[in-house]
């Protein structure tokens, strides 16, 4: 009898182990680490987004160039954290889209002998979704949403399974062949945490890109949100992008 009792006790203790682990994890991060903050920067006070005014983009590609230089993105034309697409809608309804080398060297003139109904440029980047499918699928949690709403990748943790690349509906991710880990736009996290603008916003000659606080009452982005009718890409996927487009054409996907 004594042995059965001991066994029962042992099994009960064994059961308690995962239970206490679950309870502990519910308490959130231990207070031991809670004070850890970036010096002078409180992520909890910020929530970032970007507005893109499609009618202001001239397709110069400076943003794509600045991004590559600022973030040490590979120069080869298969890796972009941001790029520019050109849409041409012809009179007969045909639509062509191109983005030669991500639009980094600008665009050559379109076919001239056909009637063009409308044509415009659309800058693209990671949408830093509020409901990000890439974060959902990462098996180890290497990609995550930071407190200030930016989707980041921990490249020392990423196992390189590429599931996040498959899950991104916007083609915003790639695998960096140097680190063999997923990589993407960070809103220039190293700059914005110092109060600077992302490189692509900084260099845009027409201020087509508006970066800022989504929730603060006075910010250039809030002004844009008040003054324009905004849309997001692929809204039916419920990814809740934080990159907002004004004057977005229905042909843009």
Question: Which residues contact other proteins (rule: CB under 8 A)?
Answer: 76-80, 83, 85, 96-99, 101-102, 124, 133, 135-141, 157-163, 165-175, 177-181, 237, 253
| Residue number, 81 or 222, with CB nearest to other proteins | 81
Residue 63: CB atoms within 10 A of its CB come to 28
Report the alpha-carbon distance of residue 32 to residue 124 in Å, rounded: 40
Bridge-based pairing state of the strands 48-53 and 243-246: parallel
SS3 label, residue 183: strand
Contact at 8 Å (CB) between 189 and 38? no
Q: Which residues pair with 215 in a beta bridge?
A: none
No. of helices (H) and no. of strands (E), the chain: 8, 11
CB of 2 to other proteins, least distance (A): 25
76 backbone dihedrals φ, ψ, rounded to 5°: -60, 145
SS3 label, residue 53: strand
| Residue number, 142 or 224, with CB nearest to other proteins | 142
CB of 124 to other proteins, least distance (A): 8
Contacts of residue 237, Cβ cutoff 8 Å, sequence gap at least 6: 133, 169
| Residue number, 88 or 197, with CB nearest to other proteins | 88
Q: Greatest CA span in the chain, whole angstroms?
A: 96
| Residue number, 172 or 225, with CB nearest to other proteins | 172
CB of 71 to other proteins, least distance (A): 14
Contact at 8 Å (CB) between 211 and 107? no
| Residue number, 138 or 192, with CB nearest to other proteins | 138
82 backbone dihedrals φ, ψ, rounded to 5°: -145, 150
CB of 76 to other proteins, least distance (A): 5
| Residue number, 174 or 187, with CB nearest to other proteins | 174
Report the alpha-carbon distance of residue 85 to residue 102 in Å, rounded: 7
Residue 142: CB atoms within 10 A of its CB come to 20
CB of 168 to other proteins, least distance (A): 6
CB of 19 to other proteins, least distance (A): 16
CB of 223 to other proteins, least distance (A): 30
| Residue number, 33 or 38, with CB nearest to other proteins | 33
């Amino acid at each position: 009898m004594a042995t059965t009792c001991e066994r029962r006790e042992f099994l009960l203790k064994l059961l308690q182990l995962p239970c206490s682990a679950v309870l502990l994890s519910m308490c959130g991060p231990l207070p031991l680490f809670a004070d850890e903050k970036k010096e002078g920067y409180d992520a909890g006070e910020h929530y970032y987004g970007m507005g893109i005014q499609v009618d202001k983009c001239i397709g110069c590609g400076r943003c794509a160039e600045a991004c590559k230089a600022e973030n040490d993105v590979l120069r080869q034309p298969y890796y972009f954290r941001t790029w520019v697409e050109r849409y041409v809608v012809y009179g007969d309804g045909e639509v062509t889209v191109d983005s030669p080398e991500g639009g980094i060297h600008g665009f050559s003139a379109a076919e001239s002998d056909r009637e063009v109904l409308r044509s415009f440029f659309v800058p693209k980047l990671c949408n830093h979704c509020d409901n990000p499918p890439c974060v959902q699928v990462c098996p180890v949690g290497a990609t995550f949403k930071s407190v200030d709403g930016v989707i980041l990748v921990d490249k020392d943790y990423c196992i390189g399974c590429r599931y996040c690349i498959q899950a991104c509906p916007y083609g915003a991710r790639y695998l960096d062949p140097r680190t063999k880990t997923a990589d993407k736009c960070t809103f220039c996290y190293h700059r914005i945490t110092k109060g600077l603008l992302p490189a692509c916003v900084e260099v845009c000659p027409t201020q087509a890109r508006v970066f800022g606080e989504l929730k603060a009452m006075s910010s250039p982005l809030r002004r844009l949100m008040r003054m324009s009718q905004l849309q997001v890409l692929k809204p039916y996927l419920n990814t809740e992008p934080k990159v907002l487009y004004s004057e977005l054409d229905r042909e843009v996907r």
